[in-house]
Amino acid sequence: MILLAQEAGLLQLQNIDIVIKASLGKIVLGDKMAVKLAVIQLNANPGQPEENRDKAIRFAQQALDQGAEIILFHEEVIVGYTPNLRDLAEPVDGPTTQAFQKLLQDKDSLIIYGLTERDGENYYISAPVVSATGVIANYRKTHLWWDAEGLRHEPTYYSPGNELVVFEYKNYKYGIMICYDGDFPEMTRAYANLDCSAILWMNNRESRGHSEVKDLSYRNSMIIAASCCCGKDEKGNFNSGGSNITYADGSLLAELWKQEGIVIADVNVEEALSMRKSNPWYQGHRPSLYYNEQVNAAGTLTHQ
C-alpha cells in the first residue's frame, strides 16, 4: 500500500508500502537547502542476515526511485538480537556495506543502516553511513541498554562507542543516535551544539513514535528522522514501529505504524539552523551551570 500524505489528508494508492509527506519549510523545487529524507520500517527476521539484507536492498531501491537522498534503516536490521550474533557479525566494510555501495553507484545518496559490527575481538551496535565510494562515517552506540536479561542486556555482548559522529551532506551537518542514546536529552543538545541540522535516530524496540521525538526536536530546533522495526522480535513480542520524520519545530511530517513501509519527507536543513538562533529553549541554556563542555578538533564532545 502507498499512503500519499498531503496537506488535505491521506490519498491511498496501492502496490508498494511508502508514506510520502508534503514538505515543510521554505522549500522550492531544486533548492539546495532541501533534502529528501527516507525512513524505512522493516519486519526483519533475527538471525537471518541474507534474508534481511535482500529485503533491505529492495526497500532501499524503492526509496531511491522516489528520489530519497538520505535513507535510514533501524538498529540491528541485518542480524538482530540472536544467540549467534557474534558468528553473524560483519566488519564495517563487509558484505552488507558492499551491497549498499553497489546499489548507490552513480548516485549522490547515502544509506545508514543498523550493523552488528565485528572489529577484531570487539563487537559494536553500529550505524555505518554508506555512499557510492564506501563508508564515510560509522557511529557506534554509546549507551548500551542494561535493564534487561538475556540478549537485550547489551553490555554482555557489545562494547560501547565513545564518541559522537557528525557527517556532512551537501555542506550541512548530521548526527546519529541509536535507541537508548536518544533517551538522554544531552545527546540531541550536543549535536545541536555541533551545528547539526538533523539527527538520524535508529531504534530496535516496541516503538519510537512522534510523541517520543517532538520535544527533542522543538527544544533544539532539530530535524529528527527516527526509524524503528515492526512485526515480531526475537521473543515473539509485537513491535508496532512508529517510524517518523519530525521537523525542527516538533511538528510531524510523516509517521508509520504496524506495517512495513517507507516514510519520506523534504526538509529544509538551513531553516532548522535559523530557527535555532531564536529558539528560547536553546538560546536560554546555560551549560556552564551544569557542566563544563568542550568540543575537540575531531568534533567529539568531551567533559571536564
Tens of pLDDT, residues 35-85 = 999 999 999 999 999 999 999 999 999 999 999 999 999 999 999 999 999
pLDDT average, residue stretch 107-115: 98
Read out DSSP for 187-225? HHHHHHHTTEEEEEEE--SSB--GGGTHHHHHHHT-EEE
Say what the pLDDT of residue 301 is: 44
Largest alpha-carbon pair distance within the chain? 55
Task: Give 78: exposed, middle or buried? Use CB within 10 Å, 0-12, 13-18, 19+.
Answer: buried
Mean pLDDT of the chain: 88
State mean pLDDT over 243-259. 97
- The pair phi, psi for residue 202, each rounded to 5°, is -95, 145
**Whole-number pLDDT of residue 102:** 98
Is residue 17 within 8 A of residue 264, CB to CB? The reply is no
Domain extents in the chain? 2-23+32-303
Binning pLDDT at 50, 70 and 90, where does residue 291 land? confident
Write out the CATH class of domain 2-23+32-303: alpha beta
- Tell me the three cell numbers of residue 43: 519486519
- Rounded distance, CA 91 to CA 24, Å? 38
How much is the pLDDT for 287?
A: 83
The answer, yes or no, to whether residue 107 has pLDDT greater than 90, is yes
Tell me if 70 sits within 8 A of 112, measured CB to CB.
yes
In the DSSP assignment, the letter for residue 90 is B
Look at 22-26, 80-84, 151-155, 285-289 and tell me which has the smallest mean pLDDT. 22-26
Mean pLDDT value across residues 129-148: 97
CA-nearest of 248, 256, 197 to 228 is 256
Averaged pLDDT, 193-206: 96
Q: How far apart are the C-alpha atoms of 144 and 179, rounded to whole Å?
A: 9
pLDDT at residue number 290 = 78
pLDDT band at 15 (very low <50, low <70, confident <90, very high): very low
Cα separation, 179 vs 203, in Å, equals: 4
Percent of the chain residues past pLDDT 70, beyond the cut: 85
CB crowding 83-113: b at 16 or more within 10 Å, else e: eebeebbbebebebbebbbebbeeeebbbbb
- Point out which residues pair with 72 in neighbouring strands: 39, 112
- Cβ atoms of residues 106 and 115 within 8 Å: no
